[in-house]
Structure 1
Amino acid sequence: MNIAVAPYRKAAPSGAADSQKTSPTNPLHLRLEGVGKTYVSGQRRVEALKDINLDIYQGEIFGIIGRSGAGKSSLIRTLNRLEDVTTGKVLINDVDIQSLDTNGLVKLRRRIGMIFQHFNLLSSATVFENLALPLKAAGIRDKQRIRQRAQELLRLVGLEGKEDVYPSRLSGGQKQRVGIARALMLDPEILLCDEATSALDPETTQSILSLIKEINKTLKLTVVLITHEMSVISQICDRVAVLEDGALAELGPVWRVFGRPEHEATQALLAPLKPKISDDIAQAISATPADNTSRAIVKFFFDGTAATYLPLGILSQRLGGDLRLLQSGIGRLQGHPQGELLVSLPYQQHELAQRLETINDLVSTVEVLGYAVPANA
């Protein structure tokens, strides 16, 4: 079915385009300056990262997202020097971590906890023995101190009393909670999350994200989270960087990136989250009005820049009063209403465009999808 689309698109409100440049008020914690990473195998060279510049602030949850092969894992591994950069610098608290000697690198890694997609627990060790590993590796042999720390963290992650259980007796979500507790054993200041929820079912994913958010709030950790799921970013992150083919495609507060994605990669990642027009409405739409009783089918898009609420009464009044809601997909992200409304309006050939012009301060985008007879609209 071919549907005529006549979009009206207003300019971004003053200052909205610069929102991605706004820095949080907390101190700078991590900085990447021109970071590049090239892998060489024989005659083959692969640029995994290309001139990445990022600032990450103390106490924020910073998301890194991209499609498969975008460079996410390479990037997060440069933050604790599991990967050395080929070009550029990674600075933590203004210290170039590439300049650290072996002793300095060991101390750095004790300040950075990491949780993994597949948990990385020793199956032959109990929960307590898995948690004890980081402290023993750090030279701590006081069993009472180790057990006390393990018990504190098991309470924090909701696994109190599971010290002597083996991983095979735990669910996926419980294993990840053990992984989180283990990452916190040395009281780090940074927590790296490498696809921490990708192996979990949706319900368990929600609980793990809530736990990470609570840990961030309670322990004041800086959290860097990589994922390929935009829904994870929307639920937990303050800001997000989008990677594409090793380069930084987009950067900004989550609400801004979701509401007005500028790069094709971001738009593709967000596509599964966009509401689809229901089949019965789509089938009823025609490209031209049947007669003067036809109603225009119009989609209003809100990107979060126009207002902190949706003024439905004013919207209806300006459009002539006879506004019918057909479908709605509005949510709130970081205090900004975002999403789409699908409505029908009386069709008046000479007045429709003029009426739509009157609401350009209330909505971000207007699209006339077509027309339908009143029985269907």
Structure 2
Amino acid sequence: MSNPVLSLNEVDIFQRDTMILKNINLNIEKGEFVYLIGKTGSGKSSLMKTLYGDLPLKKGSGTIVDFDLARLREKEIPHLRRKLGVVFQDFKLLTDRNINENLKFVLKATGWKDKKAMNDKIEEVLNKVGMKTKGFKYPYEISGGEQQRVAIARALLNDPELIIADEPTGNLDPQTSVEVMEVLQTINKNGNTILMATHDYALILKYPSKTLKCDNGEIFEVVQKAV
């Protein structure tokens, strides 16, 4: 019997009192790479926010990395987020400190104390995304694609069981998008489970994988036709 990283049963997603998505049933198994597609306003971000605890789960049942979403308490959210890696469209790097210090800030905030362990971990994750030599640079000194690589490195810091990537290539040009996607593909092959919301159908064609679509308030799996 497999233990899914994410399981939702008859879930309705709300923004305040407005139902955005209804009757969601889905499982994501360890090691999968899953796309979430749909038009702007179709509910992708609302679903993502529910998964990392920004929106409460009001109806239905769901577990994510062994947390019960329906019973999730405020004080548990930081613990949940330690087991998730969240990658945003707009990088969310701190501009007043260099890349190493950005990553150290997250480690300290999530309870790391040992200086050597922190430095080793920072080197490890930057190496994974091809940014090992850029740790001393400030965010404004590197390109958008490099900033997103750093954001992915940041998401890897606490060895997450699931990476939630919300439009990670949304602010990048096509070539850079492919480079960032290659990083995500490599991380996935190394065993990380990834759920990625995207508008970029070219990427889905280039790197086909299980695809879920938000449409008309529902989520369903799209069967990709062979090109």
Which residue type is aligned with residue 209 of structure 1? M
Higher helix share: 2
| Deviation per residue, 1:312-370 (Å, 9 max, x gap) | xxxxxxxxxxxxxxxxxxxxxxxxxx3xxxxxxxxxxxxxxxxxxxxxxxxxxxxxxxx
Q: Normalising by the residue count of structure 2, what TM-score does the alignment of the two structures yield?
A: 0.93
Give TM-score, length-normalised by structure 1. Answer: 0.57
Q: CA distance change for structure 1 residues 150 and 72 in 2, over 3 Å: closer, same or farther? A: same
What does the per-residue CA deviation read over 1:52-80, in whole Å, with 9 as the maximum and x for residues that have no partner? 11111110001110011100000111112
1:174 aligns with 2:140: no
For residues 23-75 of structure 1, what are the alpha-carbon distances to aligned partners after superposition, in whole Å with 9 as ceiling and x for unaligned? xx9652211111212234xxxx5321211111111100011100111000001
Which of 167, 191, 197 aligns to 1:226? It is 197
CA distance in 1, matches of 2:14, 2:160: 29
Q: Quick check: 2:59–2:70 contact (8 Å CA) kept in 1?
A: no
**Number of matched pairs:** 227
Q: Tell me the equivalent position of 1:38.
A: 14
User: Which amino acid is 1:251 matched to?
Assistant: E
Give the conservation status (yes or no) of the 8 Å contact 1:216–1:222: yes
The within-5 A match list for 1:291-306 is 304=226
Residue number among 176, 189, 194 corresponding to 1:217 in the alignment: 189
Q: How far does residue 103 in structure 1 lie from its aligned partner after superposition? A: 4.5
The runs of 5 or more residues in structure 1 that have no matched partner are 1-24, 260-303, 305-337, 339-377
1:91 is matched with 63
Give SS of 1:28's match: coil
- CA RMSD for the aligned pairs? 1.8
Identity %: 36
Q: CA deviation at 1:143?
A: 2.1
**Aligned equivalents of 1:202 and 1:50: distance in 2?**
33
The counterpart of 2:212, out of the listed 241, 244, 247, is: 241
Structure 2 CA distance, aligned partners of 1:163 and 1:93? 30
- Which residue matches 2:29? 57
Give the Cα separation in 2 of the matches to 1:181 and 1:142.
19
Give, in whole Å, the separation in 2 of the partners of 1:237 and 1:181. 23
Distance (Å, rounded) in 1 between the aligned partners of 2:66 and 2:152: 27
Select 1:160's aligned residue among 113, 126, 132.
132
Distance 2:160 2:215 in 1: 30
Structure 2 Cα separation of the partners of residues 35 and 83 of structure 1: 13
The yes-or-no answer on 1:120 pairing with 2:120 is no
**CA–CA separation in structure 2 for the residues paired with 1:198 and 1:102:** 30
Shift of 1:131: 0.7
Once the two structures are TM-superposed, the CA of residue 235 in structure 1 deviates from its matched residue by 3.0
Alignment gaps of 5+ in structure 2: none
Q: Whose Rg is larger?
A: 1
* 2:42 alignment counterpart: 70
